[in-house]
Amino acid sequence: NAGVTQTPKFRVLKTGQSMTLLCAQDMNHEYMYWYRQDPGMGLRLIHYSVGEGTTAKGEVPDGYNVSRLKKQNFLLGLESAAPSQTSVYFCASSLPYSNQPQHFGDGTRLSIL
């Protein structure tokens, strides 16, 4: 019973490199989200998706792109990594009803040197 799975768990990048974080969920959830968590700031929403083929910007979208080609997967891309993007990234998913909580993956710790 995997729930929400994020890969990779850790990554170190150099400034200017690109990478893609993968989120996969097996709960048949319509909605998926990407957050970043920084010390003292809680979790902040980067992008989200309400269904296959649709994405929208969250609170802090600059420097990130996303794609939702399949319902179960949500990809977060960094085209040109910057040190300010050093963070822990969490993916979450939920059913499309306001009385349903979001379920989180274990996170990806990303360091940009």
Lookup: tokens for 88? 């822990």
Complete edge-to-edge strand list for the sheet that includes strand 19-25: 4-7, 19-25, 73-78, 64-67
Q: Kindly state the number of chain residues that form the binding site for another protein, as judged by CB under 8 A.
A: 28
45 is an interface residue for another protein by CB under 8 A: yes
Q: For the purposes of burial, counting CB atoms within 10 Å of the CB of 10, is it exposed (0-12), middle (13-18) or buried (19 or more)?
A: exposed
Region 73-102 residues binding another protein, contact defined as CB under 8 A: 90, 94, 96-102
Least Cα distance to 37 among 99, 85, 2, 72 occurs for 85
Nearer to another protein, 14 or 101 (CB): 101
Lookup: tokens for 6? 């994020």
107 is an interface residue for another protein by CB under 8 A: yes
Residues in the chain: 113
Nearer to another protein, 17 or 95 (CB): 95
41 is an interface residue for another protein by CB under 8 A: yes
Region 13-32 residues binding another protein, contact defined as CB under 8 A: 31
Amino acid letter, residue 3: G
Nearer to another protein, 16 or 53 (CB): 53
Binding residues for another protein (CB under 8 A)? 4, 31, 33, 35, 40-45, 48, 50, 56, 58, 90, 94, 96-107
